[in-house]
DNA sequence: ACAATTCCGAAAATATAATTTCAAACACGC
DNA sequence: GCGTGTTTGAAATTATATTTTCGGAATTGT
């Protein structure tokens, strides 16, 4: 039986997380996922599902302050019973307590909404077409973002650079754009990020690029950047959140999905490139491996 | 395993109720009361709580079509898992049925899962504490990221820079870190992004910073960067997705939530700063307004 | 009321779960 | 790199849970 009665097991796991070892953290993560049902089976089952050994589970139970695994389970059952019989069960579950008004909760709800609404509107055709454009190593890829979207462009660039050769990040300072345009060939691809407070220069860049035979992929918001007049494919994403700024979460999700899809398309080459990259890192000792 | 797959245990109990004997009915009633948690303990406990003997419970499990009591329990766990996760998951069929195997769908589902699982684990206290740290204009704020998280750090920096003065983005090239450390005062705040393939240098940076009296806020993954030993607050976020890389969507959501919260805290000052920023943009015509 | 039948739980037998032990693997400081 | 302390799971051990057996109690039909 635990010393401190009013804590839930999940709270305790989170409190002790830092002091847990690798295998224990792996278990902790599994336990918190689908909590608490994922810990309701036998110690063997729980261990297997978390990918650790039974003794690890037993040790964990002790660390959490229980006399053993069965004791922990009993606590979980009591919690579950309380939670289920509680009329306020409707409570969207992941909001542990009465905090539905907390900014973190409202913000996340809003992001979840945006994700669902944006993604269901995306034309799979358009997505696949974009993936082919990005996978085509015969043509160079250029990426550009604006004041805020610069980071997204940078993120996209960092990954694409590993996946394939001939990837350029266009500096966000528009003075040097003519130089970049000079290097864009017919058939090249330009990925443009432009969300509201649309930037005039970016629109012009897209226009010029397209006029020179470059395929323009535009990632913009639900209202649409004027650059869409000059784009081959356009993605309109939801970006509104309870904040003074817009959210880049949905655009980032799209970017990562594209990365995942392109990477799958070019897997053989990407694998080789990643291997080389690893070697380079090892060699230059830029960072050490952990875990 | 039951013959008929689509029935719930409770439905089966009710269907067979008439054919049950006295002791069995007593047990059945207890099982349906506080269903299904009341049947989650050991057979002995369940029997005791229902006021019947263990063999009765075992026989009951067979009557209900299971191979034994453990089999029944497994079925209950599956039911419970489905019942608990469904209301949250709301598989909104936002995809046109056929495409549930498409990478875009799978990726987004995975992101949604990560969001729900990460956010429900965040300690609201820790979040609020971080917001106070970030809102405190008496102390400078430093931000640092690694190879991949650099973009995130940059994104965070871009926004915080507008909200408040004294914000520094620490260059990701570790050669210059001593210079940055030199400028960190006791009481300053350092926000560190470090997700897996943890970077040794970053861990050291956190260590040195903390030893010099700097509050370290660490944003890491579910396994936890070693830097957490040197941090004041740690956020463990889920980053696994069906891709060769990890996802930064959840970290970005946290970053944006923090931005929104800090901005609300410092609203008067932020509003003034945003106004000034607008004027500066107008003046230098760095970009033109649309909409 | 009294067999015949079914039901039920104590106790034994069996199966499974939980814990402990311990040696190999690992991370970490020097 | 090299030794030291920690972590970890396989295997052995112990504890517990589950099932089976079986005789007495309850129920039913006549």
In a domain, A3, yes or no: no
Is A108:B257 a contact under the CB 8 Å cutoff?
A: yes
Q: Are residues A158 and A208 in the same domain?
A: yes
pLDDT, tens digit only, all 291 positions of chain A: 444 455 789 888 988 898 999 999 999 999 988 888 899 999 999 999 999 999 999 999 999 999 999 999 999 999 888 877 654 443 344 444 546 789 999 999 999 999 988 888 888 999 999 999 999 999 999 999 999 999 999 999 999 999 999 999 999 888 889 999 999 999 999 999 999 889 888 999 999 999 999 999 999 998 899 999 999 999 999 999 999 999 999 999 999 999 999 999 888 888 788 777 776 665 544 333 332
Interacting residues of A279 by C-beta distance below 8 A, sequence separation 6+? none
Three-class SS state of B189: strand
Q: Are residues B34 and B80 in the same domain?
A: yes
Three-point CA angle A263, A267, A272, nearest 5°: 115
Q: What are the tens digits of pLDDT across the range B74-115?
A: 999 998 888 776 544 444 555 555 567 789 999 999 999 899
User: Which of A50, A107, A127 is the best mutation test for B, with the most CBs of B within 10 A?
Assistant: A107
Confidence at residue A266, expressed as pLDDT on a 0 to 100 scale: 80
Q: What are the tens digits of pLDDT across the range A62-74?
A: 999 999 999 999 9
Is A143:A273 a contact under the CB 8 Å cutoff?
A: no
The answer to whether B245 contacts A256, with C-beta atoms less than 8 Å apart, is yes
Q: Are residues A78 and A143 in the same domain?
A: no
Based on the number of CB atoms within 10 Å of its own CB, is B186 exposed (0-12), middle (13-18) or buried (19 or more)? exposed
Q: Are residues A205 and A112 in the same domain?
A: yes
Q: What are the tens digits of pLDDT across the range B20-31?
A: 888 999 899 889
Which chain C nucleotides are covered by protein, judged by CB under 7 A? 6-11, 16-21, 27-28
Is the CB of residue B226 less than 8 Å away from at least one CB of chain A?
Answer: yes
Confidence at residue A89, expressed as pLDDT on a 0 to 100 scale: 45
Structure tokens at A262: 């392109």
Q: Are residues A18 and A121 in the same domain?
A: no
**Between the CA atoms of A217, A195, B220 and B267, what dihedral angle is there, to the nearest 10 degrees?**
180
Q: For A2-44, give the DSSP string.
A: -S-TT--HHHHHHHHGGG--HHHHHHHHHHHTTTTGGG-S-HH
Residue B242, pLDDT above cutoff 50: yes
In a domain, B105, yes or no: no
Strand D footprint at Cβ < 7 Å?
A: A 21-24, 52-56, 59, 70; B 22, 42-45, 54-55, 57-59, 61, 67-71, 73
Q: Are residues A63 and A193 in the same domain?
A: no
Three-point CA angle B4, B48, B43, nearest 5°: 40
Q: For A188-229, give the DSSP string.
A: -EEEEEE-SS--HHHHHHHHHHHHTT-EEEEEEETT--GGGG
Query: How many folded domains does chain A comprise?
Result: 2
Residue B141, pLDDT above cutoff 90: yes
In a domain, A72, yes or no: yes
Q: What are the tens digits of pLDDT across the range B162-174?
A: 999 999 999 988 7
Can you tell me the distance from the alpha carbon of B178 to that of A53, in angstroms, rounded to the nearest whole number? Answer: 43
Q: Are residues A204 and A84 in the same domain?
A: no
Q: Are residues A168 and A39 in the same domain?
A: no
Radius of gyration in angstroms for the set of CA atoms belonging to chain A, rounded to a whole number: 25
Structure tokens at A274: 């990643």
Distance between the alpha carbon (CA) of A49 and the C1' atom of D18, Å: 23
Q: Are residues A81 and A132 in the same domain?
A: no
B197 CB neighbours in chain A (<8 A) are 287, 289-290
Size of interface A-B (CB pairs under 8 A): 233
Q: Are residues A30 and A132 in the same domain?
A: no
Is the CB of residue B173 less than 8 Å away from at least one CB of chain A?
Answer: no
State the greatest distance between any 2 C-alpha atoms of chain B, in Å, as a whole number: 88
Q: Which residues of A118-135 are buried (b: 16+ CB within 10 A; e: fewer)?
A: bbeebeeeebeebbebbb
Distance between the alpha carbon (CA) of B19 and the C1' atom of C6, Å: 13
- Output the domain CATH number for residue B81: 1.10.10.10
Q: Are residues B174 and B246 in the same domain?
A: yes
Interacting residues of A55 by C-beta distance below 8 A, sequence separation 6+? none
Is A241:B260 a contact under the CB 8 Å cutoff?
A: yes
Q: Which residue is nearest to nucleotide C6 (CA to C1')?
A: B21
Is the CB of residue B122 less than 8 Å away from at least one CB of chain A?
Answer: yes
Q: What are the tens digits of pLDDT across the range A158-197?
A: 999 999 999 999 998 888 899 999 999 999 999 999 998 8
The secondary structure element, H or E, covering residue B258 is helix B249-265
In a domain, B94, yes or no: no
Is B232:B213 a contact under the CB 8 Å cutoff?
A: no
Examine the fold and report which residue of A58, A90, A122 is the final residue of a domain before the chain moves on: A90
Is the CB of residue B274 less than 8 Å away from at least one CB of chain A?
Answer: yes
Q: Are residues B234 and B139 in the same domain?
A: yes
Domain that holds residue B237: 117-264
B155 CB neighbours in chain A (<8 A) are 148, 151-152, 248
Is A111:A241 a contact under the CB 8 Å cutoff?
A: yes
In a domain, A97, yes or no: no
Interacting residues of B275 by C-beta distance below 8 A, sequence separation 6+? none
């Amino acid at each position: 039986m635990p010393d401190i009665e009013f804590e839930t097991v999940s709270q305790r796991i989170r409190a002790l997380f830092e002091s847990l070892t690798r295998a224990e953290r792996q278990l902790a993560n599994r336990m918190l996922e689908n909590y608490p049902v994922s810990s309701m089976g036998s110690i063997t089952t729980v261990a297997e599902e978390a990918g650790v050994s039974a003794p690890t589970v037993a040790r964990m139970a002790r660390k959490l302050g229980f006399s053993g695994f069965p004791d922990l389970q009993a606590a979980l059952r009591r919690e579950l019973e309380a939670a289920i019989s509680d009329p306020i069960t409707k409570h969207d579950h992941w909001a542990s307590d009465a905090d539905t008004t907390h900014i973190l909760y409202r913000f996340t709800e809003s992001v979840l909404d945006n994700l669902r609404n944006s993604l269901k509107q995306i034309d799979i055709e358009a997505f696949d077409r974009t993936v082919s454009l990005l996978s085509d190593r015969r043509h160079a890829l250029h990426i550009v973002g604006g004041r805020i979207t610069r980071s997204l462009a940078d993120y996209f660039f960092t990954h694409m650079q590993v996946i394939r050769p001939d990837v350029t990040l266009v500096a966000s300072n528009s003075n040097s754009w003519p130089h970049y345009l000079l290097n864009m060939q017919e058939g090249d691809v330009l990925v443009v990020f432009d969300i509201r407070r649309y930037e005039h220069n970016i629109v012009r860049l897209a226009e010029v690029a397209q006029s020179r035979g470059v395929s323009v992929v535009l990632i913009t918001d639900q209202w649409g950047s004027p650059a869409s007049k000059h784009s081959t494919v356009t993605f309109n994403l939801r970006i509104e959140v309870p904040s003074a700024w817009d959210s880049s979460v949905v655009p980032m999700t799209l970017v990562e999905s594209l990365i995942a899809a392109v990477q799958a398309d070019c897997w053989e080459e990407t694998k080789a490139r990643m291997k080389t990259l690893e070697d380079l890192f090892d060699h230059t000792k830029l960072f050490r491996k952990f875990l």
